[in-house]
Amino acid sequence: MSLNENTFLYSVPNFLEHKNKLIELIYKIPINSLCTDEQKIYHQDYNLPPGFTRNYYKYFVDNIYPHYHLEFCDKNKTTIGLEHTWFQVYKKNDFHDWHIHGKCHFTNIFYINLPNGSVKTEINNFGNSFTAEVKEGDILTIPSYWKHRSPINTFDEDKIIISFNSSVIL
């Protein structure tokens, strides 16, 4: 199964102008690993306190999100609000098992670095499984109740994403 009417794929214009700056800002945050049976993530900020300085977030909100937001809302004839945002860096052998995102309408994944063009998100929509056909610079939007996972990174290069939740504003 490939991307369909229940998904939205946005390619960030001039992505290469933003890539290195985002990576630089992400790595300014002290390494914060997360390791459980369900996930092994070398660096992330999901569980850092709300007041923690996240300069990559400001850069994302100022330079990337407004254009995505405009195109998403125009195409879907609705308005969405940005909710929780975080990054994840997957070193070799890191992964994130099947999960959903609760208390929101959409799960969004911004692909900043994809080793060898691989390690793409796998999605399971009620038994219909597929791998998202994405590339660096893409933002994939799926319903938040769809199970998805990041498979094991088998490469020496880091996989880096920014994930964010969003919901329709009534």
Task: Fill in the amino acid letter for 57.
Answer: Y
The dihedral built from the CA positions of residue 50, 54, 30 and 43, taken in this order, carries a sign that is positive
Distance CA 137, CA 149 (A): 19
Write down the H helix ranges in the chain.
Answer: 15-27, 55-63, 65-76
pLDDT of residue 6: 87
Q: Taking the chain, what is the end-to-end CA distance rounded to the nearest angstrom?
A: 31
Structure tokens at 111: 């692909």
Instruction: Give pTM, 2 decimals.
Output: 0.96
pLDDT of residue 1: 36
CATH architecture of the domain with range 8-168: Sandwich (2.60)
Residues of the chain with pLDDT under 50: 1-2
Strand partners, 143: 106
